[in-house]
Amino acid sequence: PSEGKGGGGKDRGRKGGGVPGNAILTEHLTALCEDSPAQIEDFDGKVRRFLLDIQSQLGLEMLADAFDMLHEWLGKKEQRDEILNWPGYIMKLLHNWRIENEGESLTLQ
């Protein structure tokens, strides 16, 4: 049994439902997927957890800032086949965003 990989609910939110009770995150994801080749399924559990941590630890303004960055970079992609691993690409963008915003006391992994 490895920590952090509980089997219960790990596939929850695959159809865009997102995280129960988190309409804000779901709205951001829906808008982002409408304006880029990214799809809801590209925001796997690791990506969603990262985004939820931004929201809970840093607030809605920083979450909006992270999504602004994602809109900018994902919007530059014309087609899905430009990226082989969308969840990995999104996490890389978020990690780079975190590094740029370390002054905001980010302790996310």
Q: What is the pLDDT of residues 15-39, one digit of tens each?
A: 444 454 488 999 999 999 999 999 9
H-assigned helices in 1-109: 23-34, 45-58, 60-74, 86-100
What pTM, to 2 d.p., does this model score? 0.74
d(CA 25, CA 93): 17
Q: What is the pLDDT of residues 77-109, one digit of tens each?
A: 999 999 999 999 999 999 999 989 876 555 554
